[in-house]
Amino acid sequence: MSSDLLASAVANNAAWCDAVCRAHGYPGEFSRSLWLNRAGVLEFYPNAITLTRDDVAQQLEQLSALDVPGQWGVKDSFAALDLAPRGFTELFAAQWITLSKTAPAAAPASGVRWLPIRDKTSLSAWEAAWRGPSDSHRSEQRHVLFRPALLDDANIQFFAAYDNEAIVAGAIAYRAAGVVSLSNTFFVEGAPAVLRAEMLVQAMAAFPGLRLVGYEHGDELSTWCTLGFEPVGALRVWLKRAG
């Protein structure tokens, strides 16, 4: 069962990356073993994602032939590739995770208002909160990562927690491959810890009946596992720098 969930988590993540790139006007391409995007690098997103664990030779051949300007990344979804000899540096290692079916649902306790993001203005405010105050200079249109076109996709749900008018937490839920991924989670400094459990309730309510998946590393992995997530497989992210 964990292998099926792992495969679904990987497929969901590749579909999500493709949706974000598509909203920018340059969708990727899918083969049996890889998702590829030959366009320039999109901030925080890879140009290649492995979709299988048993096609290493073919994957390495395709990656070697990929010509991308500037630095670019590969999400090694099964931690099966050694890309160091090809000029890549391991950026981080992580674990795919899935929420246990027996994880209890939390009753709202923080007093914040959880709302879906429905319009361009709210999405802009959501992204600003996600980036944090140190990234406020990126508010210009050319730096917008999450384009309004994503709001038209019924499989995508941005949601935020509001304390009065201020966004104090948020995440993205995405439905694909029979599961729902929880990604881009954030909490402002001083936000109550119970918001994490409430966030899970929001994601499950947006797409009822489907398992939640994602990936995390470090302290975030440990924290989400205390709320009922379980690791189902390792991944690595590799970066090839310009020049």
pLDDT in tens, 86-130: 999 999 999 999 998 777 677 778 889 999 999 999 999 999 999
Q: What is the CATH number of the domain that holds 145?
A: 3.40.630.30
Q: Would you list the DSSP string of the chain?
A: -HHHHHHHHHHHHHHHHHHHHHHTT---EE-SSEEE--SSPPTT--SEEE--SS-HHHHHHHHHH---SS-EEEEETTS----GGGT-EEEEEEEEEEE-TTPPPPPP-S-PEEEE--SHHHHHHHHHHHH-GGGGGGGSGGG--S-GGGGG-TTEEEEEEEETTEEEEEEEEEEETTEEEEEEEEE-TT--THHHHHHHHHHHHHSTTSEEEEEE-HHHHHHHHTTTEEEEEEEEEEEE---
- pLDDT tens digits along 64-91: 988 887 889 999 999 999 999 999 999 9
User: Do 79 and 169 lie in a common domain?
Assistant: no
Is residue 132 domain-resident? Answer: yes
Do the Cβ atoms of 44 and 26 come closer than 8 Å? Answer: no
Do the Cβ atoms of 59 and 84 come closer than 8 Å? Answer: no
* Regions of the chain short of the pLDDT cut 50: 137-142
Is residue 201 domain-resident? Answer: yes
Is residue 108 domain-resident? Answer: no
User: Do 131 and 81 lie in a common domain?
Assistant: no
Is residue 103 domain-resident? Answer: no
* CA nearest neighbour of 48 among 57, 155, 65, 181: 65
pLDDT at residue 135 in the model: 60
What is the percentage of the chain residues whose pLDDT exceeds 90?
Answer: 81
User: Do 134 and 207 lie in a common domain?
Assistant: yes
Is residue 38 domain-resident? Answer: yes
Question: How many domains are there within the chain?
Answer: 2
User: Do 93 and 127 lie in a common domain?
Assistant: no
pLDDT at residue 137 in the model: 46
Q: Which domain holds residue 138?
A: 113-229
Is residue 191 domain-resident? Answer: yes
User: Do 16 and 92 lie in a common domain?
Assistant: yes
User: Do 164 and 132 lie in a common domain?
Assistant: yes
Is residue 46 domain-resident? Answer: yes
Kindly provide the b/e burial profile for residues 188-197, where b requires at least 16 CB atoms within 10 angstroms of the residue's own CB: beebbeebbb
User: Do 91 and 119 lie in a common domain?
Assistant: no
User: Do 68 and 141 lie in a common domain?
Assistant: no
User: Do 92 and 118 lie in a common domain?
Assistant: no
User: Do 117 and 214 lie in a common domain?
Assistant: yes
pLDDT at residue 171 in the model: 98
The amino acid present at 35, given as its one-letter code, is W
User: Do 90 and 117 lie in a common domain?
Assistant: no
User: Do 33 and 128 lie in a common domain?
Assistant: no
Is residue 49 domain-resident? Answer: yes
